[in-house]
Structure 1
Amino acid sequence: MTLRTLAASIALIVLAAPLVWGADPPAEPKAEIQDRIEQLEKQIRELKELREKQLEKDARTRDIKEPCVAAVGGADVCSCLAENLPRGVDFVTYVRMMSPAKDEVDKRVLEMVKAARERCVK
């Protein structure tokens, strides 16, 4: 269901509800109608923001998981890493951080990466 369809469905429900119960729709002041419209628009914006965040999360997971599976072959480990690595750490960065030369690595991020690895690699 698209956001446009959802918004249209909500608007129809709000407008048709009084007709379903056989009552005449109450005459609402324009301010109340405008308030309802603003609330629906706010809900639509929030749904769009949630959808955008989910798309970003899906892209991040894909960007980590696909090269990981190609290199490691373990889909479970790669899925776990994709969900647990800190933001800004892709698979190539993960491999670089886990390699012996760690002098240039932020120690705090390195600890987060190690924690993700311990959680995923058994």
Structure 2
Amino acid sequence: MLKGLLVAMAIVTASPTLAQKLDEQERLNQFDKAIGALNELEALTNKMTNAKKVQCITAIASQNVCSCLSSNLPVAIDFVQYVAVVTRTKEELAYDKQSTEDKKLIDNVRAARDKCVCTKSEPRR
């Protein structure tokens, strides 16, 4: 009897409590939700990138340039916005009056253009 009681006490003290199990389950649930949110974000990003590529191919019919642009442009910038940025000077864009975030977007759009479109012999704006 004493031996059985000692074994039972050892099992009870060695196993996690119900509260610990519930806490672990809650953390796993939160982790699953976070993974789901990341998957949704990735799907949205892919959809936006593909739409950008289709717009580009429709306009200029260059698979290589459009693949490069769709991969290198900021996600929030579509092809129409890209054209608007790269066909205007910084003065026309009122660059100096833009927020830091918008300046960074403009700079990143132009950097993507330089990477994907310009060759070494072409002048850069």
Confirm or deny a common fold (TM above 0.5).
yes
For the structure 1 residues 44 and 106, does the alpha-carbon distance in structure 2 shift closer, same or farther, using more than 3 Å as the test?
A: farther
Cα deviation, 1:58-82, whole Å, max 9, x if unaligned, reads 1210121001011111222112211
* Moved >3 Å (runs of 4+): 100-104
* RMSD (Å), alpha carbons: 2.3
Which TM-score applies when normalising by structure 1?
0.67
Alignment of 1:37 with 2:25, yes or no, is yes
> Displacement of 1:116 after TM fit?
0.6
Higher-Rg structure is 2
Alignment of 1:112 with 2:108, yes or no, is yes
Q: Percent identity?
A: 32
> 1:96 is paired with a residue of what secondary structure?
helix
Residue 59 (structure 1) aligns with? 47
> What is the rounded CA distance, in whole Å, between the counterparts of 2:113 and 2:88 in structure 1?
15
> What is the rounded CA distance, in whole Å, between the counterparts of 2:94 and 2:88 in structure 1?
14
Unaligned runs of 5+ in 1: 1-23
> Displacement of 1:57 after TM fit?
0.9
Unaligned runs of 5+ in 2: 1-10, 96-102, 120-125
> What is the rounded CA distance, in whole Å, between the counterparts of 2:39 and 2:80 in structure 1?
27
Cα deviation, 1:1-58, whole Å, max 9, x if unaligned, reads xxxxxxxxxxxxxxxxxxxxxxx9x743111110121121011011111101101211
Residue 71 (structure 1) aligns with? 59
Instruction: Count residues in correspondence.
Output: 98
Cα deviation, 1:72-112, whole Å, max 9, x if unaligned, reads 11222112211221243210111122225665425323332
